[in-house]
């Protein structure tokens, strides 16, 4: 059962990555959420290391997850589009692309050190058979290829499938129900059980494991199981957070119970910032009333619409979010506010704390993430590290834990965080090593070691760069005026003139620069006439230049949509419309539904 392990060699530590979906920096008590409903995560931080300056590689699910598993910026792995400036893209059902075979994923590499790997939850790196997680190094999978949007009609559009390993075992809203009205779904409990079972099995088999727990209860439509519904001060979103917090507590408890806590490296983070909700029109004084405004699309659906202009996608006249809002209000009508399960939940998004904007944007609210490292007996308790960390570091760090070096035949953006978590060291990121500072300004630069860089991309556009405490925006953009006028707002309640722009403002020649220590909310751009501004730019500019000159973008994977790709799957569960499947269907045998 020891697999490839050499008998007698010390077993490398287990690796457990807890990846949240659309959870914001400000959603944990330890990061200041006022309701403070995350006692288990807060305790995890007290027992481990908290990162206030940890980032994702992209403000959207798919590219962020590709970055985690490859250790590379999505621009390198191909998890971006070229069909729209600064256009975020992910993998909806219609998308043809996915994770290229040429990419080396963490579980593939960990096999060399004898690890057994499982993904629980959302994959999001392509849903066609060739992109299946078990073809990219995972030994087990329980979860879905896509977000739990729905329900769909299963004719023009199938519901999202749920897999156990290679087989589809059902679909969201069918075998795996999500009640949009009440917010009830049992999925987090199922994902928890999958995690606990896997850990127990691997421990019994004395095999090192990699568990990638990529749950999605905090991604809209947010859900929680019945025991947690209505238990939060924060509405339905808070219910979901409470259930996740409880689940993390149970997982860590199991590790201790099995006496493998000291041999299990655990890291908690999120794939992108909280999705802030468009400011509703209703309820402002006397003007307007709910449900009577024009239909507004949720950002994700909206994006889908723009995915391929020539394709007609079935979009309901009201998106799930509008529906959810409406139901939220009808719940209120039938049940009254507060306490009861299924009560009032709108708005349903999380919190990015003091940071600007959220998901989809390259402001801090979109990309700065909660992050906790936990490894009793190895990581000293109660530490806070100001290391500029990135989700891609989990790739390199995991390899390091397994005694493996990252691939040398390609650019790797992830940093080994072990010196940080074990010795509290602050480390430059790889891209910084070769940079040359102008001698004149070097003396006046802050003597920080945690300097970065952090690159903030949207699609294939480098929007911003952070070095040390200085962040330079090369482009500013929230979303288009057209979307904004329809009520889609990535920065509700926030408006920094010249910063939260709805036109795409190029600032590559004269970037907007913020000092993130004094001004974490990105409200006060440095004066372009100040020496500080000039020094910061002199520092950042060569780093940007070097990055862009050396960059070899991967083949973009997220450009092409084709309805046949999803319809082909739909017929499996509906046993209808087989002939409607288009030419672009998967070349390999279809997965079979098992019920």
C-alpha–C-alpha distance, residues 25 and 366, integer Å? 9
If the CB atoms of residues 91 and 478 are measured against its own copies, the closer one turns out to be 478
For residue 271, the partner it binds in Ca ion, its own copies, none, with Cβ less than 5 to 8 A by kind, is Ca ion
Q: How far is the CB of 26 from its own copies (least distance, A)?
A: 6
240 touching Ca ion, by CB under 5 A: no
Identify the burial level of 15 via C-beta atoms within 10 angstroms of its C-beta, where 0-12 means exposed, 13-18 middle and 19 or more buried. Answer: buried
Report if residue 88 touches Ca ion, rule: CB under 5 A.
no
Closest separation in Å from C-beta 491 to Ca ion: 17
Chosen from Ca ion, its own copies, none, partner binding at 528 (C-beta under 5 to 8 Å by type):
its own copies
The Cα 494–Cα 577 span in angstroms is: 47
174 vs 499: CA distance, rounded Å: 44
Sequence-separated (6 or more) residues with CB below 8 Å from residue 351: 24, 25, 26, 27, 33, 274
Q: How far is the CB of 61 from Ca ion (least distance, A)?
A: 4
Cβ neighbours of residue 235 closer than 8 Å, sequence gap 6 or more: 343, 344, 345, 346, 347, 348
Q: Which one among 14, 15, 21, 225 touches Ca ion, defined by CB under 5 A?
A: 21
User: Of these partners, Ca ion, its own copies, none, which one is at the site of residue 280 (CB under 5 to 8 Å by kind)?
Assistant: its own copies
**Shortest reach from residue 397's CB to its own copies, in Å:** 22
Alpha helices in 185-298 (DSSP H): 187-204, 235-257
Q: Least separation, in Å, of the C-beta of 121 and its own copies? A: 25
What does the alpha-carbon distance between residue 364 and residue 355 come to, in Å, rounded to a whole number? 6
C-alpha span between 411 and 194 (Å, rounded): 34
Cα angle, residue 38 at apex, residues 469 and 466 outer, rounded to 5°: 15
Which of 272, 390, 479, 574 contacts Ca ion by CB under 5 A? 272
334's enclosing H/E stretch is: helix 320-335
Q: Which is it for strands 383-384 and 49-50: parallel, antiparallel or unpaired?
A: parallel
Exactly one of 85, 124, 127, 346 is catalytic; name it.
124
Q: Judged by CB under 5 A, does residue 61 bind Ca ion? A: yes
* 3-state DSSP assignment of residue 581: coil
Among Ca ion, its own copies, none, the one that 21 touches (CB under a kind-dependent 5 to 8 A) is Ca ion
DSSP state of 593: B
Query: Closest CB to Ca ion among 63 and 230?
Result: 63
Size, binding site for Ca ion by CB under 5 A: 5
264 binds Ca ion (CB under 5 A): no
Residue 308 contacts Ca ion per CB under 5 A: no
Q: Is 547 a catalytic residue?
A: no
Q: Could you say which of Ca ion, its own copies, none residue 526 binds, taking C-beta under 5 to 8 angstroms by partner kind?
A: its own copies
> What whole-number distance in Å separates Cα of residue 494 and Cα of residue 352?
12
Which of the listed partners (Ca ion, its own copies, none) does 508 bind, with a CB threshold of 5 to 8 Å by partner kind? none
Which residue's beta carbon is nearest to the bound Ca ion? 61
Write down the residue that tokens 């209860």 correspond to.
217
Q: Counting contacts by CB under 5 A, is residue 28 touching Ca ion?
A: no
Query: Smallest distance, Å, CB 585 to Ca ion?
Result: 27
Helix (H), strand (E), coil (C) string for 56-81: CCCCCHHHHHHHHHHCCCHHHHCCCC
CA dist., res. 178 & res. 13, Å (int): 36
Nearer to its own copies by Cβ, of 333 and 423: the residue is 333
Q: Does 489 bind Ca ion (CB under 5 A)?
A: no
Residue whose CB is less far from Ca ion, 86 or 445: 86
Does residue 61 carry a catalytic annotation?
yes
Binding site for Ca ion (CB under 5 A): 21-22, 61, 271-272
- Residues carrying an active site annotation: 61, 124
């Amino acid at each position: 059962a020891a697999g490839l392990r050499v008998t007698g060699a010390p077993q490398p530590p287990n690796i457990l990555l807890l990846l949240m979906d659309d959870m914001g920096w400000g959603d944990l008590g330890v990061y200041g959420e006022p309701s403070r409903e995350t006692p288990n995560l807060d305790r995890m931080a007290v027992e481990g290391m908290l990162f206030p300056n940890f980032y994702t590689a992209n403000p959207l699910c798919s590219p962020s997850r590709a970055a985690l598993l490859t250790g590379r910026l999505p621009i390198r792995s191909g998890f971006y589009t070229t069909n729209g400036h600064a256009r975020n893209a992910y993998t909806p059902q219609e998308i043809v692309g996915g994770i290229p075979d040429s990419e080396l994923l963490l579980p593939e590499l960990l096999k060399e050190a004898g690890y057994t790997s499982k993904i629980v939850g959302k994959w999001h790196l392509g849903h066609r058979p060739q992109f299946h997680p078990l073809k990219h190094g995972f030994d087990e999978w329980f979860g879905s290829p896509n977000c739990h949007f729905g329900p769909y009609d299963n004719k023009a559009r199938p519901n999202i499938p749920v897999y156990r390993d290679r087989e589809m075992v059902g679909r969201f809203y069918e075998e795996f129900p999500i009640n949009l009205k009440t917010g009830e779904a049992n999925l987090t409990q199922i994902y928890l059980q999958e995690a606990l079972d896997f850990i127990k099995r691997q421990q019994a088999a004395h095999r090192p494991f990699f568990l990638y727990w990529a749950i999605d209860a905090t991604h809209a439509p947010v859900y929680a199981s019945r025991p947690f519904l209505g238990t939060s001060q924060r509405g339905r979103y808070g219910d979901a957070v409470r259930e996740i917090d409880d689940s993390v507590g149970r997982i860590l408890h199991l590790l201790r119970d099995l006496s493998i806590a000291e041999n299990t490296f655990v890291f908690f983070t999120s794939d992108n910032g909280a999705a802030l909700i468009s400011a509703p029109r209703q309820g402002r004084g006397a003007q307007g009333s709910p449900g009577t405004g024009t239909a507004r699309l949720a950002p994700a659906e909206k994006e889908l619409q723009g995915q391929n202009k020539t394709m007609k996608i079935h979009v309901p006249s009201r998106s799930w979010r509008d529906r959810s809002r409406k139901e939220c209000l009808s719940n209120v009508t039938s049940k009254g506010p507060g306490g009861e399960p299924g009560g009032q939940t709108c708005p349903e998004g999380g919190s990015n704390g003091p940071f600007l904007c959220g998901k989809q944007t390259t402001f801090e609210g979109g990309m700065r993430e909660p992050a906790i490292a936990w490894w009793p007996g190895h990581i000293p308790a109660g530490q806070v590290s100001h290391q500029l960390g990135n989700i891609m570091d989990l790739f390199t760090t995991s390899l390091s834990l397994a005694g493996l070096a990252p691939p040398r035949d390609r650019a790797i953006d992830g940093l080994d965080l072990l010196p940080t978590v074990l010795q509290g060291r602050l480390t430059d990121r790889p891209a910084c090593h070769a940079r040359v500072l102008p001698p004149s300004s070097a003396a006046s630069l802050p003597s920080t070691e945690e300097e970065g860089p952090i690159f903030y991309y949207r699609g294939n556009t480098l929007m911003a760069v952070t070095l040390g405490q200085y962040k330079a925006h090369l482009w500013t953009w929230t979303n288009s005026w057209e979307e904004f006028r329809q009520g889609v707002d990535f920065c509700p309640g926030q408006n920094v003139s010249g910063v939260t722009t709805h036109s795409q403002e190029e600032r590559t020649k004269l970037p907007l620069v913020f000092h993130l220590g004094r001004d974490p909310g990105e409200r006060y751009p440095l004066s372009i006439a100040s020496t500080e501004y000039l020094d910061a730019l002199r520092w950042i500019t060569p780093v940007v230049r070097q990055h862009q000159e050396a960059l070899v973008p991967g083949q973009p994977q997220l450009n092409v949509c084709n309805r046949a790709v999803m319809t082909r799957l739909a017929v499996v569960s509906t046993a209808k419309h087989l002939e409607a499947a288009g030419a672009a269907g998967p070349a390999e045998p279809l997965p079979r539904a098992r019920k």
